[in-house]
Amino acid sequence: MPAETHVEQQPLGPEEVFSLLRERLAEILEIDEADITREARFRDDLDADSLALIELVEIIEAELGERTVGFSIDDEDLAELHVVGEAVDYVVARLAVAGGGS
């Protein structure tokens, strides 16, 4: 059976998105996943600079773009996301828009 791209899958919920963001952010920042909570601030708590956040966005767009056609993160919105939980909520909302959900 040939591999398919953009296979119809269940939408990711907040916990799945948080898990994905936490895993990728831990890899980028080379820190323990346990240090990344929904309340953690990117710059103040995690020492994530703008380059690390851009790398995170690129990885998330690539991974979720395979899952949800039309998923993207607006560069202008990135400056407004200061806390991991805000990023989770933002990604969940963008997935709903890209996937045609509410």
* Series of mean pLDDT values for 10-residue runs along the chain (102 residues): 50 92 98 97 96 94 88 86 96 86 50
Give the model's pLDDT for residue 6. Answer: 46
- Prediction pTM value: 0.84
CATH architecture of 14-98: Orthogonal Bundle (1.10)
Residue 77 among the catalytic residues: no
Q: Is 4 exposed, middle or buried (0-12, 13-18, 19+ CB in 10 A)?
A: exposed
Read off the DSSP letter of residue 10.
P
Domain boundaries, the chain: 14-98
CA 38 vs CA 15, 25, 47: distances in Å = 10, 12, 15
Q: How far apart are the first and last CA of the chain?
A: 33
Catalytic residue among 44, 49, 74, 77: 49
Cα-Cα-Cα-Cα dihedral of 60, 65, 66, 68, to 10°?
120
